[in-house]
Amino acid sequence: MLAKVYTAALIGLNPQIVEVEIDIQKGLFKFNIVGLGDKAVQESKERVISAIKNSTCDFVYKKITVNLAPGGLPKTGPTYDFPIAVGILLASKQIHFNPDKSLLLGELSLEGNLRNLNGILSIADGAKNEGFENIFLPYSNSKEANLIKNIKVFPVKTLSQFITNSSYKNSFKPLEKEEVKIVPDKNYLYDMKHVQGQKVAKRALEIAAAGAHNILLTGTPGSGKTLLAKSIPSILPSITITESLEITRIYSIAGLVSHNNPLVRKRPFRNPHHTSSDVALVGGGTFPKPGEISLAHRGILFLDEFPEFSRSALEALRQPMEDNIVTISRALGTLQFPANFMLIAAMNPCKCGWKGDPDRECTCTQSEYFKYQRKISGPILDRIDLQIYVPKVKYKNLISDKDSESSEKIRQRVQKARNIQIKRYKALNIVANAELRQKDLKKFITLGTRSKDLLSNALEKLHLSARSYFRILRLSRTIADLYNSSKVKRTHVAEALSYRLTNGNV
C-alpha cells in the first residue's frame, strides 16, 4: 500500500517542494522516516501515532516507511507531521482524498490539533509557482497564505476535521479571497513639527527619504539627532503592495506576523542597540533567521551611537549595503535574505562629544579624537551618501512657540519625488534612486558641462572614490526629482556635494 502527498521545506526565503512517500507493508511493526530529517522530524513518529489514534481513525501497526524526497535536502522542524499523518491514512485507505496539486503543512499536537508555522507566505507563493492549486495548513496561518492570489487556502484546525471533510466529497471549503489594500496609517509617535530649527538636517532627511539614501548625523550631545531619526517614519513615502508583501515574507520567517492581520502595512523602523551581536544584526544562527538588516528591508535601520557598535558588526554591513541582500554561510551551504534598507546612523563627533561646539571646549586629546573617528571605517563612510553635522539649536529657536513645518507637508514632497522614480524605473523593477545600478546610471543621469566640471573639481579636492562619485550622481538625481526637474542641473550637484563635505568629521 503506497501513497504520496506533497509538502514544502524552506531554505532562507526559498521554498522547495518535498514529496512525502508512504509505504505500508505487512510485517512486524516498524516506523521509519528516511530523507535526512533532523531530530524534530524523527520525533514526528510519536506525534503522528497519538494524533491519528485521538482522531477517530486507527493507526496501522505494520511496517511503515516514510521517504522525504529529495533525499539530499536536509529536512528540519515539525512541519512534516500533518502530511505524514495524511499519507498514512491514505495508504491504509482510511480516507478519500486526492493529494495531487495539494500542499499539506502543519505540526500536530498529540490531540491532533494543527499548530502555527513560520514562513507560510513564501511557501504559498512558491507552491503557486510550482503549479499547486490547493494548500491545507493550520488555521492560524490561513489568512497569511490567503494573501497569495490563485491558490486555494484550506484552513485545518484538527486532524479529525480533515478526516471528516475527506469522508464527504467536496466538503472542504477554501477561504474567500479578500482584496489586499493598504490604507496609509498616519499615526506617528514623532513629528518633524516638534523639532525646532535644524533646517539643514531636515532638508537632508527629506532628500534621504525621497531617494532611500543612507545618512549619517554627527553632532554634539542633546542636539536632537535621535529625535530627528525617530521622526523619519512620518516623512517616508507610502508603501506599495509589492513592498508590503516582500516585508511580510521576512517577518513571517522570523515569526513576527499577526495571525489575524498578517500583512505588514508600515515601513519598518528598526533600532537595534549597539550591544547587539553580529548574528542579531545581519542574521544567521543554527536555524538561520533574518537579522535586523533584513527586518529593516524597505524601511529604516537606525544605528544610534554608531561608533559603539562592534567593528565586526559594522563591517558585516558592507556587503548588504552594496548588494541589498545578505548572504549567510553555514555548514549546509549559503542562503540569502533581502536587506534593502536605508541606514540612518547617529554619532557624536568625538568621545567627549563637544568637538565643534562654539560654547564648550572639547576635552579629547588628538589621539583620542582620531581613535574615535577610526571606529567607523573608510569603506562604511564611503557607502553613506549624506553626511551632515547637526549643530546645537539656538536657545531662542528652542523656546519659540511656532511649530516647524509638519511631517505631512514634507511627506507630500517626498511622495511626489518617489512617484517620479517609481515611474522612471518601472522596467528595471526598482523604486528609488539609491537602488539604481551603475550600469543604468548613464541612461538616467546625464550631466551638462558645467555640472561635470564642478564634480570633477570636487572629486580631486575631496579625494573621493569612484563609489562616492556614483553615489553623488544618484543623490543629485534625487534632488532634481524633488524639484520635479527632468535634468540634473549644476545646483543639484552642488547641493549633493555639500552633504559630503564634512565627511563625518567636524
HEC secondary structure over 71-135: CCCCECCCCCHHHHHHHHHHHCCCCCCCCCCEEECCEECCCCEEECCCCHHHHHHHHHHCCCCEE
214: partner contacted, choices ligand ATP, Mg ion, none (Cβ within 5-8 A by kind) = none
406 is an interface residue for ligand ATP by CB under 6 A = no
Stretch that binds Mg ion, among 11-19, 47-55, 184-192, 221-229 (CB under 5 A): 221-229
| Residue 378 binds which entry of Mg ion, ligand ATP, none, CB below 5-8 Å type-dependent | none
Selection from 91, 90, 230 nearest residue 163 by Cα: 90
Q: Which C-beta is closer to ligand ATP: that of 102 or that of 348?
A: 348
Applying CB under 6 A, what is the total number of residues that bind ligand ATP?
A: 15
User: CA 268 to CA 459: how far, in whole Å?
Assistant: 35
Q: Which residue, chain included where needed, has cell 517614519?
A: 233
Contact pattern for ligand ATP over residues 188 through 207, marking x by CB under 6 A: -------xxxx---------
The 343-362 contact track toward ligand ATP, x by CB under 6 A, reads ---x-x--------------
User: From the CB of 304, what's the least distance to ligand ATP, in Å?
Assistant: 7
Choose one: 103-111, 220-228, 449-457, 493-501; the region binding ligand ATP (CB under 6 A): 220-228
Q: Does 223 bind ligand ATP (CB under 6 A)?
A: yes
**Quick one: cell of 2?**
503506497
Which single residue brings its beta carbon nearest to ligand ATP?
A: 224
Q: Does 436 bind ligand ATP (CB under 6 A)?
A: no
The reply to whether 378 sits near ligand ATP by the rule CB under 6 A is: no
Q: Residue 6 or residue 188: which is nearer to ligand ATP going by CB?
A: 188
List the x/- string, 317-346, binding to ligand ATP by CB under 6 A.
-----------------------------x
Nearer to ligand ATP, 17 or 200 (CB): 200
Nearest approach, Cβ of 381 to Mg ion (angstroms)?
19
Residue 140's binding partner, choosing from Mg ion, ligand ATP, none, with beta-carbon cut-off 5 to 8 A by kind?
Answer: none
The residue whose grid cell reads 491504509 is 92
Minimum CB separation of residue 226 from ligand ATP in Å reads 3
Q: Cα–Cα–Cα angle for 203, 209, 213, nearest 5°?
A: 100
Q: How far is the CB of 219 from Mg ion (least distance, A)?
A: 9
> What is the DSSP code string of 2-70?
EEEEEEEEEETTEEEEEEEEEEEESSS-EEEEESSB-HHHHHHHHHHHHHHHTTTS----SEEEEEEES
**85-112: string of b/e by CB count within 10 Å (b at 16+)?**
bbbbbbbbebbebebeebbbbbbbeeeb
Which of 70, 71, 184, 222 contacts ligand ATP by CB under 6 A? 222
DSSP-derived letter for residue 405 is -
Inter-residue long-range contacts of 352-358, CB under 8 Å, 24+ positions, other chains counted:
353/220, 353/221, 354/220, 354/221, 355/220, 355/506, 356/220, 356/389, 356/391, 356/506, 357/220, 357/392
According to DSSP, the β-strands at 269-270 and 300-303 are parallel
Options 224, 233, 268, 283; binder of ligand ATP; rule CB under 6 A:
224
Site residues for ligand ATP, window 291-310 (CB under 6 A)? none
In angstroms, what is the minimal distance from the CB of 300 to ligand ATP? 16
Q: Is 52 in the site for ligand ATP (CB under 6 A)?
A: no
CA distance 482 to 420: 9
Closest distance between ligand ATP and the C-beta of residue 296, in Å? Answer: 19
Q: Based on CB atoms, which residue is closest to Mg ion, 120 or 217?
A: 217
Strand ranges in 183-271 using DSSP code E only, listed in sequence order:
215-219, 269-270
The C-alpha atoms of residue 205 and residue 217 are separated, in whole angstroms, by: 10
Which one of the spans 118-126, 222-230, 318-326, 496-504 is the region binding Mg ion (CB under 5 A)? Answer: 222-230
Minimum Å gap between C-beta 343 and ligand ATP is 16
Q: Name which of Mg ion, ligand ATP, none residue 33 binds, using a CB cut-off of 5 to 8 Å depending on partner kind.
A: none
Alpha-carbon dihedral angle through residues 122, 123, 124, 126, given to the nearest 10 degrees = 80
Site string for ligand ATP, 102-141 (x = CB under 6 A): ----------------------------------------
Distances (CA, A) of 191 to 16, 210, 224, 230, 236: 44, 17, 13, 9, 12
Q: Can you spell out the DSSP letters for 312-355?
A: HHHHTTHHHHHHSEEEEEETTEEEEEE---EEEEEE-SSSSS-T
Round to whole Å and give the CA distance between 3 and 24.
9
Q: Which is nearer to Mg ion, 226 or 277 (CB)?
A: 226
Among 226, 240, 406, 505, binds Mg ion (CB under 5 A): 226
Stretch that binds Mg ion, among 79-87, 220-228, 335-343, 367-375 (CB under 5 A): 220-228
What minimum distance in Å lies between the beta carbon of 189 and Mg ion? 16
394 lies in the site for ligand ATP, by CB under 6 A: no
Q: Are 55 and 159 in contact (CB under 8 A)?
A: yes
Report yes or no: 195 and 224 within 8 Å, Cβ to Cβ. Answer: yes
Residues that bind ligand ATP (CB under 6 A): 195-198, 219, 221-227, 346, 348, 393
Residues that bind Mg ion (CB under 5 A): 226
